[in-house]
């Protein structure tokens, strides 16, 4: 330890918290109510430590201003106070603590006894080994960045297509990304990656955790790593391993440059954030930050046994959202990522935990009230994973109106439908139409539903149609990890096969899932690589697989599937019928030329409307729907009605071919086939009203009203191009607020 007597120290300010460089020097501020003394520790290149006691305290914020400290300075804290784990107090000045507000970090954690405040084997004992040589340090950053020309795309929810992606997994093997940039923020911003996202219609990339996280000791001992990143060490710092440069604090600049590049391409950046727990784990865990700063303030402790932590997440601890200072940290973090890092929204991991002020989940909890009132956070995209593992934790459909939700009901029922599992057609139809049964009762719109079929947690799309069982041996948990009920179907062989018939039906099923997802009402979310045919070889829990098993293999991609995905995404983009802002009413639509059909009509395969008895049966596993393009509520920016073409959509999830009769001329004179996942080639002939055709096994068919008389020289391709040019609404029509 070096002498700090000749280092100028000024009183500084209690706000903002963290280390703030103002262009001249740096202000340091840290909250702790239970401490008796706080030391700021500065580290030189030779690891020499300089300790500075913070003597200024305002409202439990300890602070100082150091006029000579510049960006790149590494630092941490030592907090003195009572050590009484049985009563929730865990101060130990032998442990270097990371600033909860650190904007960047340096170094890696070296696991072992020094990081723990107790002696192994006795969780109530006191260990005084110095943890600094083994601990990550905070880094003072240069906050200045040239954002000139940057604009948030602010894509309306109903026009959004979200793409869940992993920074490293997305870029690690891409041949066009320079090797030194693979697995980094800069690699993600590479033109080849952005071009692919644009090709398939992505409007928002949702990044799996990029907050600085920790690789668990138990995984490292097995030769594995925490790949997913749901083990947060800092809620403000970008994960340093995803930076292409080793310069101190440069990960912040690189992240900002990535965001700016995405915005230039019209793509929003959403972050998967983990505010429900931290990397410190349960009472056996290490002392890295919050635990040693103010354990009782930051964590939910068992009321009558404060040695132990409440655990609603399965990770050992839960943040104390009932404490105003813990809540302030969460809100400050969210605001920082929006205002300073320019991100466009958040997906909240296990969001039900944030609603547990006391025990039960409460959608009117303080956290949601703060979000509602915040002028910054309330204006970005807020997506909840609406469950946790605690009692009453499954809360799909119950979040506040400004929130959207990962719709787990959509995932489950769409999977069941296409794999042929007996289920009521009404359940599937509700998901296809926007899940009004889940969201309309609280005044919400179809966009409250983030529709997804696959996500990082579970099978990829290709594996969903290739495996009946999980194959997680590589995780080292004897196959006990991961979901066992996957609602998947291998179609006759487990995993890889050379059988052309099985391969054909698997390919068709992937197209069925993608078409269903992208043309359902609500907001679609794709898992990265699903459009490429990515496989994890049946592993449905790759949280520890930082390897080729999880990374996208860009050398082996399904090019026809990419083209199919791009085509369906384009259909959705071009036609507001598939991205309505309001739920269907089932009411008759009146226009200037008289009375039209309902905005939606559910059809049997014989062209008659579905009756009450049809919804309960599922013997033929088929369903049709008519979508009235004149039945879209609302007006464009100039007051004009938003109108679109009329569509027919048919699904057949059975293994049998069915006879399909197109509806009569009161719907349309003729129809063009735009999509038929069961067809081997495209069809160029228009289908007259009332005509009979085959609805192939396991197929998704989309038809559009043919708007010109049928003639022998008719071409679907030419008709589509002509109709798009003449009848598609102006961009303002599709995106303008409704009346």
Which positions are catalytic?
Answer: 349, 385
Residue 172: is it exposed, middle or buried by C-beta count within 10 angstroms (0-12/13-18/19+)? buried
Q: What is the DSSP-derived secondary structure letter of residue 473? A: G
Best CA proximity match to 169, nearest among 556, 564, 542: 542
Best CA proximity match to 494, nearest among 474, 473, 465, 529: 465
Count of C-beta atoms within a 10 Å radius of residue 519 = 23
Question: How far is Cα 309 from Cα 330, in angstroms, rounded to an integer?
Answer: 19
Question: How far is Cα 551 from Cα 573, in angstroms, rounded to an integer?
Answer: 29
Query: Tokens for 462?
Result: 């290709």
Half-sphere exposure of 262 (CA within 13 A, CB side): 31
Contact 228, 208 (CB under 8 A): yes
Question: How far is Cα 174 from Cα 192, in angstroms, rounded to an integer?
Answer: 9
Count of C-beta atoms within a 10 Å radius of residue 710 = 12
| Strand-strand pairing, 61-66 and 26-31 | antiparallel
Question: How far is Cα 187 from Cα 167, in angstroms, rounded to an integer?
Answer: 8
Q: What is the DSSP-derived secondary structure letter of residue 729? A: P
Provide the β-strand partners of residue 75.
Answer: 42, 138
Which residue blocks in 75-204 are alpha helix, DSSP H?
Answer: 167-171, 185-188, 191-199
Question: How far is Cα 695 from Cα 627, in angstroms, rounded to an integer?
Answer: 19
Region of residue 478 (left: phi > 0; alpha: psi -120 to 50; beta: else): left
In whole angstroms, how far apart are CA 64 and each of 39, 67, 725?
A: 11, 10, 64
Phi and psi angles of residue 394, each rounded to the nearest 5 degrees, phi first: -85, 110
Question: How far is Cα 202 from Cα 194, in angstroms, rounded to an integer?
Answer: 9
Phi and psi angles of residue 662, each rounded to the nearest 5 degrees, phi first: -70, 150
Question: How far is Cα 20 from Cα 73, in angstroms, rounded to an integer?
Answer: 12
In whole angstroms, how far apart are CA 532 and each of 194, 342, 427, 523, 566?
A: 15, 29, 29, 21, 11
**372 three-class SS:** helix
**308 three-class SS:** strand
Provide the β-strand partners of residue 694.
Answer: 659
Radius of gyration of the chain (CA): 28
DSSP H or E run through 689: none
Best CA proximity match to 618, nearest among 654, 648, 590, 644: 654
Count of C-beta atoms within a 10 Å radius of residue 191 = 11
Phi and psi angles of residue 58, each rounded to the nearest 5 degrees, phi first: -130, 120
Question: How far is Cα 183 from Cα 188, in angstroms, rounded to an integer?
Answer: 8
Question: DSSP states of 540-577 as a string?
Answer: S-GGG--STTTS--TTS--HHHHHHHHHHHHHHHH-GG
């Amino acid at each position: 330890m070096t002498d700090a007597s000749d280092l100028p120290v000024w009183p500084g300010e209690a706000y903002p918290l963290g280390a703030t460089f103002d262009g001249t020097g740096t202000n340091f501020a840290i909250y702790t109510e239970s401490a008796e003394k706080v030391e700021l520790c500065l580290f030189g290149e030779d690891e020499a430590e300089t300790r500075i006691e913070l003597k200024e305290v305002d409202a439990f914020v300890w602070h100082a201003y150091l006029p000579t400290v510049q960006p790149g300075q590494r630092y941490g804290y030592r907090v003195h106070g009572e050590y009484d784990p049985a009563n929730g107090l865990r101060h130990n000045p032998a442990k270097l603590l990371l600033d909860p507000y650190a904007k960047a970090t340096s170094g890696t954690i070296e696991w072992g006894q020094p990081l723990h405040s107790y002696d192994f084997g006795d969780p109530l004992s006191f260990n005084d080994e110095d943890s600094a040589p083994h601990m990550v340090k905070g880094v003072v950053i240069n906050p200045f960045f040239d954002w000139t020309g940057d604009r948030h795309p602010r894509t309306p929810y109903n026009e959004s297509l979200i793409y869940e992606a992993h920074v490293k997994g997305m870029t690690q093997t891409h041949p066009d990304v320079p090797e030194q940039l693979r697995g980094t923020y800069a690699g993600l911003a590479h033109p080849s990656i952005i071009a692919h996202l644009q090709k398939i219609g992505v409007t928002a990339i949702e990044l799996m955790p990029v907050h600085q996280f920790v690789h668990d000791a138990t995984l490292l001992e097995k030769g594995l790593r925490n790949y997913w990143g749901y083990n947060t060490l800092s809620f403000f710092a970008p994960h340093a391993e995803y930076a292409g440069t080793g310069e101190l604090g440069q990960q912040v600049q690189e992240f900002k440059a990535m965001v700016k590049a995405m915005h230039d391409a019209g793509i929003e950046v959403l972050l998967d954030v983990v505010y429900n727990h931290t990397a410190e784990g349960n009472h056996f865990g290490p002392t890295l930050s919050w635990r040693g700063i103010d354990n009782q303030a930051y964590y939910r402790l068992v009321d009558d046994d404060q040695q132990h932590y409440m655990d609603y997440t399965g990770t050992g601890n839960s943040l104390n959202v009932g404490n105003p200072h813990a809540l302030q940290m969460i809100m400050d973090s969210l605001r920082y990522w929006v205002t300073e890092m320019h991100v466009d929204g958040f997906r909240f991991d296990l969001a039900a935990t944030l609603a547990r002020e006391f025990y039960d989940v409460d959608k009117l909890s303080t956290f949601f009230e703060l979000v509602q009132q915040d002028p910054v956070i309330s204006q970005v995209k807020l997506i909840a994973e609406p469950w946790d593992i605690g009692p009453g934790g499954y809360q799909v459909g119950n979040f506040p109106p400004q929130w959207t939700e990962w719709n787990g009901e959509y995932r489950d029922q769409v999977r069941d439908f296409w794999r042929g599992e007996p289920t009521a057609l009404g359940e599937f139809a509700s998901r296809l139409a926007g899940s009004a049964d889940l969201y309309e009762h609280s005044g919400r719109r179809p966009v409250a539903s983030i529709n997804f079929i696959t996500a990082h947690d579970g099978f990829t799309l290709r594996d969903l149609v290739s495996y009946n069982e999980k194959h997680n041996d590589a995780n080292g948990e004897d196959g006990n990890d991961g979901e066992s009920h996957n609602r998947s179907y291998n179609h006759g062989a487990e995993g890889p096969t050379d059988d052309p018939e099985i391969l054909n039906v698997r390919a068709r099923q992937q197209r069925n899932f993608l078409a269903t997802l992208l043309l359902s009402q609500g907001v679609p979310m794709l898992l990265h690589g699903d459009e490429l045919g990515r496989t994890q070889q049946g592993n449905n829990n790759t949280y520890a697989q930082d390897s080729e098993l999880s990374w996208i293999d860009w050398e082996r991609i399904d090019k026809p599937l990419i083209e199919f995905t791009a085509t369906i995404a384009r259909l959705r983009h071009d036609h507001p019928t598939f991205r309505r802002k309001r739920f269907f009413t089932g009411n008759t639509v009146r226009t200037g030329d008289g009375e039209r059909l309902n905005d939606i009509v559910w059809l049997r395969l014989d062209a008659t409307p579905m009756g009450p008895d049809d919804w309960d049966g599922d013997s033929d596993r088929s369903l049709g729907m008519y979508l009235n393009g004149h039945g879209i509520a609302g007006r464009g920016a100039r007051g004009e009605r938003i109108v679109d073409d009329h569509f027919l959509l048919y699904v057949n999830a059975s293994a049998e071919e069915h006879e399909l009769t197109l509806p009569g001329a009161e719907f349309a004179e003729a129809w063009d086939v735009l999509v038929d996942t069961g067809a081997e080639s495209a069809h160029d002939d228009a289908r007259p009203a009332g005509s009979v055709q085959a609805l192939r096994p396991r197929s998704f068919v989309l038809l559009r009203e043919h708007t010109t008389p049928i003639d022998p020289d008719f071409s679907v391709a030419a008709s589509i191009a002509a109709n798009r040019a003449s009848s598609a609404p102006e961009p303002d029509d599709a995106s303008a607020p409704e009346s």
